[in-house]
Structure 1
Amino acid sequence: RVPFMKVFGGANQVLPSWEKEHPGLAKEVDQICQFEGRHRGWDTTRVNSDLSCVGTWEIIAEDETSRTARRPDGLVKIFVKGSNFHHQTIEFPVKCRADWDRIKAEFLDPDDPARFPADWEEKVEEYRGRDWPLQLTHRGVYGFPRVLMGDEALAFAFYDDPAMVHDIMDTYTDFAIRLWEKMTPDVDFDLIECWEDMCSKNGSIISPAMFREFMAPNYRRIRAFANAHDIPIVLVDSDGNIEKLAELMLEAGVNAMYPYEILAGNDLDEARERLPGMAAIGGLKKEAMAEGDEAVEFEMERAAHLIRKGKFIPGPDHFVQSHTSWPQYRHFMARLREVVLSTPVEA
């Protein structure tokens, strides 16, 4: 059977309102829901695959509801107080080639020993004895420059300075592979996950031609690394409508995607029929949790149907919405567990 995974949210992660109404829930929600695996079902190492040595945040403005902070790499954000997820980038680190050259030289050294946790040897022993999936992490062929530049500046750069975009994408993949090469001699991995978030409800932010020119060569390198190290899954995370993007990803060597957000217009049943080689995770309308029993049961019927077809792990199509109550979430997950345990894969 397929595993029963949380998919979105870390270990024992709860909404603040749930913990306020049910003190102690944050220590046992995973046990109550009987999720399988670890973290969200699969887990990452604690090896830093992002910029390193970026220093600490400097508060440059603050009021009753938010604080604005700058990091030494040039990133400036507004953080909403009392929230883990509500923040906005107002200044990006890379505005020109000189900025990128500085970032590359100062913050993207794969040989920086601080990238590995101090207890790495103990972690290796833990990983060797695990019974849950473990990933290697790629910050995204598109996702990494997006975080450095922002979507708008990156969109212009594809035309105004394509050589720089190529360099950012290629350099980061070089960096990631060098980091992975330090880890794979000691640990067997189950998947490589790449974070992209490169779609809206209207589809991919960049064209198929741009994908094939800028991104596909890097994904082929990722797939080649996976094949050389017996890693069966290359998984891509992208919000929005990913149906057309999935075609391009499959062509470039990716064989699993998530989360197939329903309100973005994804038709997961059709996508699985059209692309049988592309596995899927998520795909259940998170809004249904707060919409009553009929909406929940509709999603359970969809989950059972998709499980039978194979290459599908069901779960919410993104993080739980803030107005969803703990009883609503618990009911949705209890029903989903029943469906997972009782539905065989027929494909």
Structure 2
Amino acid sequence: MMTERERFLACLRGDSVDRPPYWLFWGPWPTTRSRWEREGMPADCNLRAHLGSDRPPATVQVNYGPCPRIERQVLREDDDFILFTDSWGILRRDYKHGESMSEFIEFPVKNRDDWERFRAERLDPDHPDRFLGNWRQQAEASAREGVALQLGNYPDVGVFGGLRWLLGDEECLLAFYTDPQLVHDIMDHLTTVYLAVFARVVEVLRIDVIHIWEDMCGRQGPLISPRHWDEFMAPNYQRIRDFARSHDIPIISVDTDGDPRLILPNMTAAGVNYLWPFEVAAGCDVAQIRRRWPSLGMMGGIDKRALAIGPKAIDAEMERVAPVIETGRYIAALDHLVPDDVSWSNYCYYAEALRRRIGVD
């Protein structure tokens, strides 16, 4: 029987496997977990252990982002809302009684002076605090257990993602036109930071995946054009690709919500060979994408909304993705976190239906 690492790599490479990976990758919203506990899920349940799923790659726990770390600081809190600064220095407000996106109020970079200051204070590639704690021992323990190892994480490793955290959505997109050199400078330096951290880690660990968080697409497609992708992002992705090749790292992974199809040719040309989560509500169909990109590694693509409807809808989703599972290079999984209109019984039905479809003993 293959280890989880061997199965994961063989699947994405299109090699033969004992069976496809069985991942319950996307967990529940906090409000969903509360509902499930009321409906019989054991308290503090580890879903992967409880339902017997494989483990995805373990992220090497070093500091890839702002360093020294920006400590979360609560500025104001009442019965309904909490106002705080996060690990990137973003001022945001969260609603405390349900699941909704943060209200992003203020971002750390408003001009070049802010950028120069943030870079000097928080983005030194060689800052010693990047390698605190027992990160190496944790990673080695995961490797001994047969789990793949990954560099990069959410929210700290993203070429577009980091730019967006620093400038904010609107200013980030405007800057491609109003201050393109600032965009280049930020993306180039962030990539330099990532590669410097990666280089230290590969001296002592065998790495299987470089993961990049972008979230740069919506229902209508990418937030930037293919031309802008090639001009601003491709050179940095090529740097990451060259690093991966020189250190025998086979997988370059990108997480972007929404519909990425318009920039998928650009991404794959720059080295991306594993993409997720292919949200169905955004128009993504993994069967269609497989036909156009037969060698692309994929994860996700099962409509999470089906779980709220019930077993028949779940079975229909299993049938829809079954041919893609058979082609290989695909890890069948939900297309995002599980909302609180999904019952515990429906989630368990989904987990068992996926288990049967994949052929887990």
TM-score, with normalisation over the residues of structure 1? 0.91
In structure 2, the residue matched to 1:15 is: 33
Q: 1:165: Cα distance to partner? A: 0.3
8 Å CA contact 1:234–1:255 kept in 2: the answer is yes
Change (3 A) 1:25 1:304: farther
- Distance between the aligned counterparts of 1:68 and 1:264, measured in 2? 31
Q: Which moved more, 1:69-78 or 1:159-168?
A: 69-78
Matches within 5 A, 1:217-236: 217-236=235-254
CA 338–72 in structure 1, closer or farther in 2 if over 3 Å, else same: closer
Give how far 1:215 is off: 0.4
1:314 aligns with 2:332: yes
CA distance in 2, matches of 1:295, 1:56: 44
**CA distance in structure 2 between the partners assigned to 1:198 and 1:258 by the alignment:** 12
Could you list the per-position Cα deviations for residues 69-114 of structure 1 after superposition, in whole angstroms to 9, with x for gaps in the alignment? 2369642111222568752221111111111111111111222222
SS in structure 2 of the partner of residue 146 of structure 1: helix
Matched, 1:5 2:5: no
What residue in structure 2 maps to residue 111 of structure 1?
126
Cα separation, 2, equivalents of 1:183 and 1:14? 36
2:58 corresponds to which of 14, 24, 43: 43
| Residue 127 of structure 1: how far off its partner (Å) | 4.0
Q: Deviations over 1:26-81 (max 9, x none)?
A: 234222311112xxx22212111111224433333322101112369642111222
Equivalent-residue separation in structure 2 for 1:28 and 1:152 (angstroms): 38
One-letter amino acid of the counterpart of residue 33, structure 2? L
Q: For 1:1-347, what aligned pairs fall within 5 Å after superposition? A: 1-9=19-27, 15-22=33-40, 24-37=42-55, 41-70=56-85, 74-81=89-96, 86-137=101-152, 139-341=157-359
The offset of 1:9, in angstroms, is 3.1
What SS does the aligned partner of 1:27 have? coil
Identity of aligned residues (%): 37
Higher RCO (CA-CA < 8 Å; seq separation 6+): 2
Root-mean-square deviation (CA), in Å?
2.2
Instruction: Report the CA distance between 1:207 and its aligned residue.
Output: 0.7
Distance 1:260 1:180 in 2: 27
Q: Is the 8 A contact 2:318 2:353 kept in 1?
A: yes
333-342 or 254-263, which moves further after superposition? 333-342
User: Do the aligned residues in 1 keep the contact of 2:58 with 2:142 (CA within 8 Å)?
Assistant: no
The superposition leaves residues 105-124 of structure 1 with CA deviations (integer Å, 9 ceiling, x where unpaired) of 11112222222242234225
Q: Which runs of 4+ in 1 moved over 3 A?
A: 20-25, 70-74, 82-86
Residue 11 of structure 2 corresponds to none
SS in 1 for 2:306: helix
Q: Residues 124 and 186 of structure 1 are in contact (CA less than 8 Å); yes or no, is this contact kept in structure 2?
A: no
1: CA distance, partners of 2:339 / 2:173 = 30
CA distance 1:48–1:101, shift in 2 (3 Å): same
1:287 positional shift: 0.6
2:283 maps to amino acid:
G
> Contact (CA 8 Å) 1:284, 1:299: kept in 2 or not?
yes
User: Could you tell me how far 1:7 is from its partner in structure 2?
Assistant: 2.1
Structure 2 distance, partners of 1:144, 1:70, is 16
Question: CA deviation digits over 1:115-166, x for unaligned, max 9?
Answer: 2242234225314413112211061111110111112101111111111100
- TM-score when scaled to structure 2? 0.88
Change (3 A) 1:309 1:128: closer
Structure-2 change in CA distance of 1:338 and 1:136 (3 Å): same
Q: Distance in 1 between matches of 2:329 and 2:290?
A: 9
Q: Distance in 2 between matches of 1:342 and 1:21?
A: 26
Once the two structures are superposed, what CA deviation does each residue of 1:168-197 show, in whole Å capped at 9, x if it has no partner?
001011110000011001111111111011
CA distance in 1, matches of 2:88, 2:228: 28
- What is the rounded CA distance, in whole Å, between the counterparts of 1:303 and 1:50 in structure 2? 36
Between the two proteins, the alignment pairs up a number of residues equal to 339
One-letter identity of the residue aligned with 1:29: L
Alignment check: 8 A CA contact 1:143 1:196 kept? yes
Structure-2 separation of matches of 1:57 and 1:26: 24
Contact 2:94 2:102 in 1 (8 A): yes
